[in-house]
Structure 1
Amino acid sequence: MAPTTPSDVLRIEDLRISFEMHGHLNEVVKGVSLRVPAGRTVALVGESGSGKTVISQAIMGLLPRNGVITQGRILFSDPIKDGKTLDIAQLPADGTKMRKLRGGRIGMIFQEPMSSLSPVHTVGSQIEEALQLHRPHPRKEARAVTEKMLGLVGFRDPSRSYDRYSFELSGGLRQRAMLAMALICHPALLIADEPTTALDVTIQAQVLKLMKELQRDIGMAILLITHDLGVVANMADEVVVVYRGELMEAGTVDDIFRRPSHPYLKALLKASPDFDMKEGERLVALREVAPVVPTRKKPSYEGNSAPLLSVRHLRKTYGSKSGGSVLAVDDVSFDIGRGECLGLVGESGSGKTTVGNMIMRARKADAGEIVFHGEKAPVDVLGLDSHTLKAFRPHMQMIFQDPVSSLSPRMTVLDIIREPMIIQGKGDAATQKQRAVELMHAVGLDPRFLNRYPHSFSGGQRQRIGIARALALDPDLIICDEPVSALDVSVQAQILNLLKDLQASLGLTYLFVSHNLAVVHYMAERIAVMARGRIVEIGPRQELFRNPAHPYTRCLLKAVPLPDLDRRLDFDVAMAGGTASDPASWPAEFRDVEGGSLRMIDLGNGHSVLAAERCTAHDIAVHRGHHAAQ
């Protein structure tokens, strides 16, 4: 390999990393070489467990204690500071030089924002700590700089957000706080490990544009670790593809997307859902899992035409320390038919997860009605007491968004999957173990892993364990809260196909909460769009994607990054999405101006939109036609 040139901020040469387990070295990174030129973006792409995150940990000097660099160099050259080249692989991880680099000249956005932020310090104080450590400011000025950065990464009220704690924020807002912390010192190199995984498309576009602008302004280089090929197509100058610790293919973004040569890269490109997929077309997973479908009597709903779940006028308000209140869910109503998948999309903080939590009774609703129409008499879900709620629980289960915090670190995988069965008194220990083995096969994991703990799995593998646990009690309805947001595209394809197969064979019903519109397009028959706690549009998938009526829905669709170099994201158009959920940016037809109220207007074919009471379906059609003409 040629010697390092001043234009390379980072150059990795023949890097080999092993983990010591039971006295043996297990090699996980096998001779990887790559470079990140100044002011450029290099995308590192690969599946869960391919070694991407381990490479980033080595660059930051954050390898676990049993991790060791056995060969190779990690050369860092800071063109802004002094231009000297340091071999990070030779630096002590807790030495002075490494501490100055880490967080100062090399910033990092971690994949798991919940476990990366302290729950006992405010978000603002944590970001300010990073600033004061590397670029000291007077106290008042430091707060002003921190609030400005919070505003840049999309917090609506930076001053108020400064004093909030991480557990008060949605997944997307936590990720934005991590981004602010990484960027506040204006690093020469930013390592972004899945930086937009938890973000909805409008804020994702905002964050990606911000990264591009900072890159241009301060000459920052970016090593972007992601499984989202749409983000890669819109952000990267060069792409490096790794598989099981080995480099498969590397080249310019043009070479990778237009002239892929390695079979693994070609398979990755086919595994991503997009809006051009035909009805009934399946994603092509790299390793298709033939589900071992658990035995279950398919529910019989003959003679019962009612939807499986009816939600009416749901409302939830949260109080705040300042004495005010935040209306998180406002008058939400929808039905989910039997065997149907209803998609629920919207930006972070729109109330999607809160709706799912209220249906599960994990959050208490302030008002409204939730009725479950099972095989027996209708069940008033909100009216159940603790005893009847426990008996009802098997009918509805949930797949959680964060695969780290939703799995107990003190329990083995077997214990995690058995726990719902133990609580409900289903079967003896042997039967429960057999069921756990069956479910591990169903989600594509080796049953030999049952005695391991969650920390020994990748993010994608942990999410599959969560899916297995949700299936343990043979539920009728599964609320999927971002179930594939932590998964790379190949495993995502496998899980989405699996969920579809299970839905068809077991008669399952899904409420699929996601910010990924391409995933929702693939999974859901009908889609509901949420903004600021309200459903603003609901309708059949094709109708909603082909002919969106609400301005917020249109902004969502424009902000989706596609894995297609000929349809690149227009960041200026997509940036309008940053304020798209603010009703003040909507035309008068969609706002409650002059004290008027809003109502759902039927546009036909099961398609409805939230608009001013005075509007008619004709008014909406005229507005839609005018917008299409523009």
Structure 2
Amino acid sequence: MDILRISDLRIGFTIHGLARDVVKGVSLRVPAGKTVALVGESGSGKSVISQAIMGLLPRAGGITGGEILFRDPQAPETVVDIATLPAEGKGIRALRGGRIGMIFQEPMSSLSPVHTIGNQIEEALLLHRPMPKPEARELIEAMLKRVGFKNPKRAFGLYSFELSGGLRQRAMLAMALICQPALLIADEPTTALDVTIQAQVLDLMRDLQAEMGMAILLITHDLGVVANMADEVVVIFHGEIMERGTVEDIFRRPRHPYLKALLDASPHFDMQDGERLVALREARPRPAVAAPPPKPAADAAPLLSVRGLHKTYVTGSRSFFGKGNQTSVKAVNDVGFDIRRGECLGLVGESGCGKTTVSKIIMRAVTPDSGEVIFDDGRERVDVLGLEGEDLRKFRPRVQMIFQDPVSSLSPRMTVMNILREPLVIHGRGDQAGQDERVRTLMQDVGLDMRFLNRYPHSFSGGQRQRIGIARALALDPDLIICDEPVSALDVSVQAQILNLLKDLQAERGLTFLFISHNLAVVNYMADRIAVMANGRIVELAPRHALFDRPAHPYTRALLRSVPFADLDRRLDFKLAAPGGASDDSHWDKAFKAGPDEGALTHLPLGDGHFVLARPNADMRELVP
């Protein structure tokens, strides 16, 4: 029996008086108890279809044809055509949140910051199943326990901003499932999550699906998630279905060129040295560049040396008399590494491990409690943390940053021309004519059209906005660029373009990168060496091949076990991935945990530049497979 059957669905939007079709005759089905994945790039119409099913289309949008038939297993003889229901009528309100649940892509903006998690779930429950509040609370706490909250009574009274990304997504899942829906729509439910938390959330969805017998419509662009979760797959492009079939057919026998291109655009661990990602559509051709700068000598000093960084944050409140409930958190704990000129050092780890704090310390946006950062370009040796006033202002162009979210890092009130000129104006680089010429060169460097210079950021796609961010980072010819999750918000196709662009720029200009990410496949593609960070410390540091071939630390192994492959022959074992999270050291061998008698943990050499954080007396031959 099909819970949902969509036939020849057409959805149009009217913008500035112009009508435009965004979904063009889509047909798909979701059988009872099965998971159907709807796969495609941003702008392909995936989320619009989910909004139509929930009756949540924006005012400018409307269903112009076709039907959305919903058959409730509790009343199988009754079929409801959602497409014909009034937008805010009783019919759609009874289905939405009751018989059809939805998990949204960004839990922070989907949860109210002024109501507790328990209040929000209670509202959804009582709207569809009126009952006494004590009984409702009992049901809600049971559901919070089922979705993985260790202390449901405490979780009931917490606010969304007090939860991590993974726990917020679990709260969203509890809210979507509290009325035991027949159909769950999951719109990019794990895009913003670490691989270990993603594995836990996906495992939870599978368990609850088996327990409650519900159907799932999974909307995603991550083909690794699709291979591990879906029974059937529907591939959509610009509002039209390109290919559909069982998960076996889609991955083993792809036929449509678009599907094959999506599979080729995803970074994976089997890529050879020098192999490039194949972008679905290449960016504008970039101008030919003169010979790259010579490589530094093997014995040259590192461009950046970081030693003994510590940073502690104090959370909680103090009363007027000095008492209070304050706790200190060691965000960075004795972190040190070198970055050689011309190399890309990857820094990976779960959210909250301290990666971004380290980058902010290097950028002088955060002051550490102790430690040193030395910048050596071969001409002078600079103590970065000791710089003040004019010396600091002069140094800033040497280190630039590409941010995670291109939307919030670009001013919506400035044109592209002003955004790219701003660093040149601030640092007094050239006159206006020279600055304008430099901006045009930057646009060419990142493959953007000159006609875009007078546009504002909101008129660009995510990939184009990230290119503007890269151009801004290049404006002052920096020696080091810190890339903080630069592709985590992008589709695989756009991600391939941006990663190839960064590799090309590195080769042409001899750039040095600190590349921060929680996507191990992306780091594997970009980095020469990789540092793995957990609980504020670097637990393993190794050349790329050594880390993936011979991971030594249990945290690194847990991260690698949690990566979903777009390969049916390498299914993810969700139960094995990372119970309690990879950074939960209760699962680690005692050789990797500090003991009262063995002394402090130290970085033990394993050969060829491979180091692991362990007890000084640990025998690595017994522990490393």
Whether the TM-score (by the shorter chain) exceeds 0.5 is yes
Aligned partner of 1:46 in structure 2 is 40
C-alpha spacing 1:123/1:333, structure 2 compared with 1 (3 Å): farther
CA contact (8 A) 2:286 2:447 kept: no
Between 153-162 and 532-541, report the one with greater CA deviation: 153-162
CA distance in 2, matches of 1:561, 1:339: 31
Aligned partner of 1:399 in structure 2 is 402
CA contact (8 A) 2:104 2:189 kept: yes
Match of 1:270 among 258, 264, 275: 264
Aligned partner of 1:4 in structure 2 is none
Aligned partner of 1:311 in structure 2 is 306
Between 590-599 and 517-526, report the one with greater CA deviation: 590-599
CA contact (8 A) 1:115 1:405 kept: no
C-alpha spacing 1:586/1:157, structure 2 compared with 1 (3 Å): farther
Residue type at the aligned position of 1:315: H
CA contact (8 A) 1:293 1:502 kept: no
Residue type at the aligned position of 2:583: S
1:71 pairs with 2:74: no
User: Larger Rg: 1 or 2?
Assistant: 2
CA contact (8 A) 2:54 2:96 kept: yes
TM-score normalised by L of structure 1: 0.88
How far has the Cα of 1:401 moved from its partner?
2.2
1:514 pairs with 2:517: yes
CA distance in 1, matches of 2:495, 2:113: 30
Aligned partner of 1:3 in structure 2 is none
1:581 pairs with 2:583: yes
Deviations 1:114-137 (A, max 9, x none): 443445555565555544544567
C-alpha spacing 1:376/1:205, structure 2 compared with 1 (3 Å): same
Residue type at the aligned position of 2:571: R
CA contact (8 A) 2:277 2:496 kept: yes
Consecutive unaligned residues of structure 1, counting only runs of 5 or more, are 1-6
Deviations 1:433-475 (A, max 9, x none): 5555554554455554454444444444444443333333332
TM-score normalised by L of structure 2: 0.89
C-alpha spacing 1:148/1:426, structure 2 compared with 1 (3 Å): farther
CA distance in 2, matches of 1:252, 1:293: 44
Aligned partner of 1:373 in structure 2 is 376
CA distance in 2, matches of 1:386, 1:175: 43
Instruction: Indicate the SS of the match to 2:577.
Output: helix
How far has the Cα of 1:170 moved from its partner?
5.6
CA distance in 1, matches of 2:527, 2:396: 24
How far has the Cα of 1:54 moved from its partner?
2.1
Between 425-434 and 183-192, report the one with greater CA deviation: 425-434
Deviations 1:480-519 (A, max 9, x none): 1211112221211111111100111111111111111111
Between 26-35 and 64-73, report the one with greater CA deviation: 64-73
CA contact (8 A) 1:292 1:439 kept: no
1:168-317 equivalences under 5 Å are: 174-289=168-283, 292=286, 305-317=300-312
CA distance in 2, matches of 1:21, 1:320: 47
CA distance in 2, matches of 1:416, 1:327: 36
C-alpha spacing 1:299/1:270, structure 2 compared with 1 (3 Å): closer
Match of 1:594 among 581, 593, 596: 596
How far has the Cα of 1:575 moved from its partner?
4.0
How much identity, in percent, do the aligned residues show? 70
Between 509-518 and 465-474, report the one with greater CA deviation: 465-474
Match of 1:480 among 474, 478, 483: 483
CA distance in 1, matches of 2:330, 2:135: 33
Consecutive unaligned residues of structure 2, counting only runs of 5 or more, are 317-324
C-alpha spacing 1:225/1:458, structure 2 compared with 1 (3 Å): farther
C-alpha spacing 1:392/1:119, structure 2 compared with 1 (3 Å): farther
CA distance in 2, matches of 1:546, 1:40: 36
CA distance in 1, matches of 2:443, 2:178: 43
Aligned partner of 1:10 in structure 2 is 4
How far has the Cα of 1:14 moved from its partner?
1.5
CA contact (8 A) 1:294 1:438 kept: no
CA distance in 1, matches of 2:118, 2:468: 34
Aligned partner of 1:621 in structure 2 is 621
C-alpha spacing 1:469/1:219, structure 2 compared with 1 (3 Å): farther
CA distance in 2, matches of 1:211, 1:30: 30
Aligned partner of 2:343 in structure 1 is 340
CA distance in 1, matches of 2:149, 2:266: 30
CA distance in 1, matches of 2:447, 2:180: 42
- Provide the aligned length of Structure 1 versus Structure 2: 615
How far has the Cα of 1:77 moved from its partner?
2.9
1:550 pairs with 2:553: yes
Match of 1:20 among 10, 14, 21: 14
1:302-451 equivalences under 5 Å are: 305-321=300-316, 322-374=325-377, 376-385=379-388, 387-427=390-430, 432=435, 435-436=438-439, 438-451=441-454
Deviations 1:253-293 (A, max 9, x none): 11111111111111111111111111111111122236636
Query: What do you get for the CA RMSD once the two structures are aligned?
Result: 3.1
Instruction: Indicate the SS of the match to 1:324.
Output: strand
Aligned partner of 1:32 in structure 2 is 26
Between 66-75 and 330-339, report the one with greater CA deviation: 66-75
CA distance in 2, matches of 1:158, 1:426: 57
C-alpha spacing 1:458/1:131, structure 2 compared with 1 (3 Å): farther
C-alpha spacing 1:241/1:21, structure 2 compared with 1 (3 Å): same
1:604 pairs with 2:607: yes
CA distance in 1, matches of 2:115, 2:422: 33
CA distance in 2, matches of 1:444, 1:236: 36
How far has the Cα of 1:190 moved from its partner?
2.1
CA distance in 2, matches of 1:181, 1:521: 36
Between 431-440 and 242-251, report the one with greater CA deviation: 431-440
C-alpha spacing 1:221/1:599, structure 2 compared with 1 (3 Å): same
Instruction: Indicate the SS of the match to 2:326.
Output: coil
How far has the Cα of 1:208 moved from its partner?
0.8
C-alpha spacing 1:176/1:379, structure 2 compared with 1 (3 Å): farther
Residue type at the aligned position of 1:255: D
CA distance in 2, matches of 1:479, 1:38: 47
Instruction: Indicate the SS of the match to 1:18.
Output: strand
CA distance in 2, matches of 1:228, 1:391: 42
CA distance in 1, matches of 2:531, 2:439: 34
